[in-house]
Structure 1
Amino acid sequence: MTVPDSLISLANDLPGGVVFPSDETWDTARTPWNLAVDQHPAAVVLPRTAEDVATAVTAARDRGLAVAVQGTGHNAAPLAAHGGLDGALLLNMSGMQGVSVDPETRTAWVEAGTLWGQVTAAAAVHGLAALAGSSADVGVVGYTLGGGVSWLARAHGLAANHVTAVEVVTADGKQRRVDAFNEPDLFWAVRGGGGNFGVVTALEFQLFEMADIFAGAMFWPVERADEVLHVWRAWVEGIPERVTSAARVMHFPPMPELREPLRGNSYVVVEAAMLLEDHFATDLLAGLRDLGPAMDTFGRIPMTDLAQLHMDPPGPVPGVGDGLLLRDLDEQTITQFASVASAESMLLSCEFRHLGGALTPGRVDGGAVSGLDADFLFFAVGVAPVPEAAAAVAKAVQRVKGTLEPVRAARTFSNFCESAASPESLYGPSLERLRAVRDRYDPQRIMRAHQPLG
C-alpha cells in the first residue's frame, strides 16, 4: 500500500485537508517560503486547529510515518538536507493564524502559522511591542523556538526567553499546555530546542510597552566597506545595551521593484534600533555620520515600521545562505571580509549583527538556549532564481565564510544556520538534557526537527 493510500481516511477527518503528490495543489502545498528548497514529503496536512494537529500526529504514528512541521519555511534547507522529509507527513501550519493580545498582562497568544507582521500590528494597538523578527513575514513560532534575535535583543535577550506558555501536541497525540509550573522540563526544552519534542500549536509570550523607536540605516558606496566596517566595529564597543545594530555589505540586483538609488548598486550599510531619547541617539550616531553617508534614514518611527529596517524581501524568494557565530572581529579579519564580500555580487547581503548585552548567556534565564556565547552573528545570502545558480551562490557564501574562520565561535545558532549542523555545536551543554526530554515525550522519534538532536 502506498503512503497516500494509507492516509485516505485521514483526509476525511481533517477539514483543512491532506494534499498528496497526485493532487493539482501538491506543488503549492509542499513549497516553502525559501523557493530554492525542493521538498518531497509523503503528504502535506493543512491543519486549522490543535485538534487537527492531534489527529494528524496520531494517524502518522499509527501508520509508521514521521512528522515534520513548517510555519513558513524561511529556514527550510536543513530539514531537506538531512532527509527529514523522507517518508514524513509535513504539517503546513499556515492555516493557524490566530492572534490575541492581553493589554493587562502584556502578553500575546499566537497560533503556529502566524507571521510577525500580524503580531506587531495587534500589539501596536495597545502601545505594546514584541521581540519580533527582522522581517514581517517570518513565522513567529519557528523563529521563537530556535531562539529569536530581534532588533531589541541586546536590551531584552532572545525571544525564547520571554515565552510564558507553550501549547504543544506530543508524539502520543496529546494536547498539552506547558509552562514553568506544568511539565517544566518540556517547557524548558522547546524554548531553543525547536521541534524535536512535538508540534507546537501556539505560544504565549511577554510584550513590552513601546509605541515607537529611534532607528534607521546609513549607506556608503561599497568601495568604503573596509573603512566603514572598522569604524562600526570600534563604535559598538562604546554603545549601551539599549542599542542593537548590524553592519552589512549589500549588492542590490537591478530589479524594477527596488527604488533608486538602491537598484543595481552596492553599499556598505549600518543599521540600528535604539531604545534612547532622540538627542542621546543623535549624539551616539555622530561618529558614524562623520563618515559622510550617501543616505541616512535615522529617525523616530512606529514599532510597526521596524520590520522594514532590514530591507528583507516582502515575499517568498529562492535563497541560498548560511551563518556563523563569531567570538570577535579583529582588524585583519574585517579587511579580508570586506575585500571578498565587496566582490561577491551574487550575494544580496553579507551581514554582522552585534550581540552581547542581554544576549550574554546567563543574563536572561529561560529555555535550552538562554543566550549566545559570541560577540557577533554573521549571515550571508544570495538569490538563486534557477536551480543551476544555487551551487554558485553556495560557493560564494562559503568564500565569504572562509574569511571568518579565524574568529569562528564554537557554537552554532539554529535560526541562522541553513545547513545541517552537529547537535553538539547547536545545543552545547544542554544536549544531554534535551535528549532525555525527547526520549520521554517521543520515544519512537517520530518528530523530524529541522535541526535534530541526534
Structure 2
Amino acid sequence: MAIATHLIDAFAGAVLAPGDGGWDAARQAFNTDIDQRPAAIAMPTDALDVADALRFAARHGLRVAPQRTGHNAGPLGDLRDVLLLKTDALGGVEIDVGARRVRVGAATRWEQVTPRLSELGLAALHGSSPDVGIVGYSLGGGIGWLARKHGMQTNAVTAIELITADGRFVRADREHEPDLFWALRGGGGNFGVVTALEFEVFPVRELYAGALFFEVEQTADVLHAWTELLPHLPEEITSWANVLHFPPLPELPAAIRGRSFAIVMAAFLGSEADGRELLRPLRRLRPLIDTFAMQAPAGLGDLAMDPREPLPFRSAHALIDALPAAAIDDVARISGPGSSLALVQLRHMGGALSRRDPDAGARATLPGEICVFGLGVVPEASAEPAVLSDLAALSAAVAPRRVGDYPNFVEQPVEVSGFFDPGTWERLRRVKALYDPQDLFKANHHIPA
C-alpha cells in the first residue's frame, strides 16, 4: 500500500494497490488460472506517465512489467517486487493507405484494425485471435494466416516508439537506434515500454478461405490426408488442421454446439478455382460442413474460432520438422473422442517463415514444418490431472521430431537462451546491457543484462 501511495504523488494516471476496488480485474491475465500479484498496478495515460512510472520504480527498487491483454502472462512468474504497468489507455490507430503503413498505440488490439484495413483492400499479418494486443504479439513474433507468404508480423514492423529504462522517449527504426530496433523484433518486452509501433500491411482485396468440418472419428484420416498435402502446397496457402471439442454454450451455432470435429482451415491468396483444386484431396473425405468462399480479409479474424473471453487453461506446444504416420495416429487418439483437450492444432509452417531476411529482427525465422499446439480448459482443480496427462502424451508423440519453440506459445518460465542461436542470444544480451543495464524490465521471456 505504501508503494502505491507514493506512486500516486508522482504519477498522473490511476494507481491500484491490493485491496483497492478494481484490483482483481486489473491484475487478471487472459489465463484466469494465473494469479498475478504485483506490488502495485499503474495505468499510464500517455508516454510522459510511462516515464514517470519508470523513474519511480527505479528509485524504489521495483521492476516493471508492461502488459495489455495478459496473453502469455504465465512466464512472468513471481511479481511481488514488480510494478505491473497496464497500457490500456495508450490507444490510437492511424492508417496510411498510400504507404501501406499502420501506426497503433500500445493498447490496440487486432479487432480495432483489421476490419478497417479490409475495407481498404489491405491485410495485416495478424494471428488467430482478434482480441490479442498488437504490440505483445508483434514483439514476440506473430504467425497467422498469411505467414507462409509474408513471414512473421515482427518483421513487418517498421518503427517502434518506446520509453527506455532511463525515462527517455526513443523511436527505433532501421536508421535510428538500429540495434535496439533489431532486438525488439523478436526479443520481446525486455528493452523498454513500447507506447506505439508502426508496421507494413499488404494489398489483399479478397482471398479464398474457410474451414472443412469432418466427423471427429475421421481425425486420423483427415490428418493423414492433410499431412500428405503439405509438401505440394504453394506459399500462398496457409492451412491448419485442428481437433476441436466445442462446449455446449448457448451462444454457439446449433450445428457445432457441444460437438467435436476434425477441422482443416486455410487461407489462400489466389482464386476460388485454384483453391478448390488444392483442397480437393481433403474434400474426398466428405466434410460435414464446408465454409470455403472468396471473402474479404476481415473474415480471417474469426476463422480459427478462438475464445474471446478469458478462461483457465493449460497448454503445450512444439515446432516439429515432420509428422510421421505413427505420430499422426497417436495425435488422433490423444485428441479424438474422450480427450480432455479442447483443442489440438497443427499449423503448417515453412515458406517465408523459414527464409532468413537480412533486414529481419532477432526473430528472423522459425524452425520446422508444423507447429503443434494443445490446450485443455481446467474450470476446476479436478480437471487438471486429465488435461496434463493428455498434454504430456501429445508432447511425447511429437518429441522425436521436435526442432524448437515458438515463444508466443510458451506459457511457463523456461531458459530463454534456447529460443535463439548463440550469436543472436549474445547480441540480445549486449543490447539489453546497453539499454537496461539494471534489468528494470521483467518481460515474459526474460533476457538478462
TM-score normalised by L of structure 2: 0.96
Quick one: which of 177, 182, 187 aligns to 1:183? 177
Between the aligned partners of 2:74 and 2:388, the Cα distance in structure 1 is: 12
- Give the match's secondary structure for 2:115: helix
- Separation in 1 of the partners of 2:150 and 2:119? 21
Q: 2:326 aligns with which of 329, 332, 336?
A: 332
**Aligned position for 2:414:** 421
Amino acid at match of 1:232: W
CA shift, 1:13, in A, is 4.2
* C-alpha distance in 2 between matches for 1:49 and 1:211: 35
Q: What letter corresponds to residue 360 of structure 1 in structure 2?
A: S
Q: Name the amino acid aligned to 2:57.
A: A
Distance 1:119 1:390 in 2: 36
Any conservation in 2 of the 1:361–1:373 contact (CA below 8 Å)?
A: no
**How far 1:89 moved relative to its partner?**
0.2
Give the distance between the partners of 2:385 and 2:167, measured in 1 at CA.
40
| Match of residue 5, structure 2, among 4, 8, 13 | 8
Among 206, 227, 232, the alignment partner of 1:238 is 232
Match of 2:18 in 1: 21
Distance 1:19 1:437 in 2: 32
> Could you give the per-residue CA deviations for residues 81-122 of structure 1, whole angstroms, max 9, x where no partner exists?
xx2x23100011122221111112110001111100111123
Instruction: Report SS of the residue matched to 2:65.
Output: strand
2:277 aligns with: 283
Letter in 1 for 2:55: T
User: Of 375, 398, 401, which residue of structure 1 is paired with 2:369?
Assistant: 375
Q: Does structure 1 residue 56 correspond to structure 2 residue 53?
A: yes
Contact 1:36–1:390 at 8 Å: present in 2 too? no
In the alignment, which residue of structure 2 is the partner of 1:98? 92
Alignment check: 8 A CA contact 2:217 2:337 kept:
no
Specify whether residues 362 and 344 from structure 1 end up closer, same or farther in structure 2 by C-alpha distance, changes over 3 A only: farther
How many residue pairs get matched?
A: 447
**Equivalent residue number for residue 157 of structure 2:** 163
Deviates most, 283-292 or 123-132:
123-132
Deviation at 1:10, TM superposition (A): 2.4
Q: Distance in 1 between matches of 2:363 and 2:117?
A: 25
SS in 2 for 1:447: coil
How big is the shift at 1:391?
Answer: 4.8
Q: Secondary structure at the match of 1:226?
A: helix
Counterpart for residue 75 of structure 1 = 72
Where structure 2 has 5 or more consecutive residues not aligned to the other structure, the ranges are none
- 1:364, CA displacement in angstroms? 7.1
Q: 1:392 & 1:42 partners in 2: Cα distance?
A: 34
SS of 1:334's equivalent in the other structure is helix
How big is each residue's C-alpha offset from its partner over 1:135-180, in whole Å with a ceiling of 9 and x where there is no partner? 1101101111000001000000000011100011111111100001
Q: Distance in 2 between matches of 1:391 and 1:182?
A: 50
Structure 2 partner of 1:306: 300
Change (3 A) 1:52 1:440: same
The structure-2 alpha-carbon separation of the partners of 1:41 and 1:265, relative to structure 1 and needing over 3 Å to count, comes to same
Which deviates the most, 334-343 or 195-204? Answer: 334-343
What percentage of residue pairs aligned between the two structures are identical?
A: 43
Shift of 1:212: 2.2
Once residues 80 and 320 of structure 2 are traced to their aligned partners in structure 1, the CA distance between those partners, rounded to angstroms, is: 33
In structure 2, relative to structure 1, the CA distance for the partners of 1:392 and 1:14 (3 Å cut) is: farther
Q: Matched residues in 1 for 2:86 and 2:342: separation?
A: 28
Answer yes or no: is the 8 Å Cα contact 1:100–1:122 preserved in 2.
no
Once residues 352 and 37 of structure 2 are traced to their aligned partners in structure 1, the CA distance between those partners, rounded to angstroms, is: 40
Report the CA distance between 1:38 and its aligned residue. 1.0
Q: Classify the secondary structure of the residue corresponding to 1:403.
A: helix
Distance 1:230 1:61 in 2: 55
Assess if the C-alpha contact under 8 Å between 2:162 and 2:196 holds in 1: yes
Q: Which whole-Å CA distance do the structure 1 matches of 2:182 and 2:32 have between them?
A: 32
Distance 1:318 1:20, change over 3 A: same
One-letter amino acid of the structure 2 residue matched with residue 32 of structure 1: A
Q: State the secondary structure of the residue aligned to 1:300.
A: strand
| Cα distance between partner residues in 2 of 1:256 and 1:297 | 21
Q: Deviations along 1:355-402, whole A, 9 cap, x unmatched?
A: 000001415741000111111111111222235534542333222212
CA RMSD in angstroms comes to 1.5
1:60-97 deviation line (CA, Å, top 9, x unaligned): 011110001112012111113xx2x2310001112222
Cα contact 1:171–1:442 (8 A) shared by 2: yes
Using the size of structure 1 for normalisation, the TM-score is 0.95
Cα distance in 2 for residues equivalent to 1:344 and 1:448: 40
1:16, CA displacement in angstroms? 2.9
Q: Which amino acid aligns with 1:452?
A: H
**Mean alpha-carbon deviation: is it higher for 155-164 or for 118-127?**
118-127
Gaps of 5+ in 1: none
Matched, 1:192 2:189: no
Q: Aligned match of 1:138 in 132, 142, 148?
A: 132
Deviations 1:6-41 (A, max 9, x none): 342422443431111020211011111221211101
Measure, in 1, the Cα distance between the counterparts of 2:251 and 2:156: 37
Which range moves more in the overlay, 319-328 or 38-47?
319-328
2:400 alignment partner in structure 1:
406
CA deviations on 1:214-260 (whole Å, 9 max, x unpaired) are: 10011111111111101000111111000001001111122222222
Change (3 A) 1:324 1:134: same
Mapped contact 1:323–1:418 kept (Cα < 8 A): no
2:327 aligned with 1:360: no
Counterpart of 1:40, as a letter, is R
Look up the equivalent residue of 1:229 and give its one-letter code: L
Moved more, 317-326 or 353-362: 317-326
Look up the match of 2:35.
Answer: 38
Aligned CA distance change for structure 1 residues 394 and 12 (closer, same or farther; 3 Å)? farther
CA distance in 2, matches of 1:386, 1:113: 31
Moved more, 343-352 or 227-236: 343-352
Matched residue SS, 2:126: coil
Q: Call closer, same or farther: CA 1:388–1:112 in 2, change over 3 Å.
A: farther
Mapped partners of 2:288, 2:406: distance in 1? 33
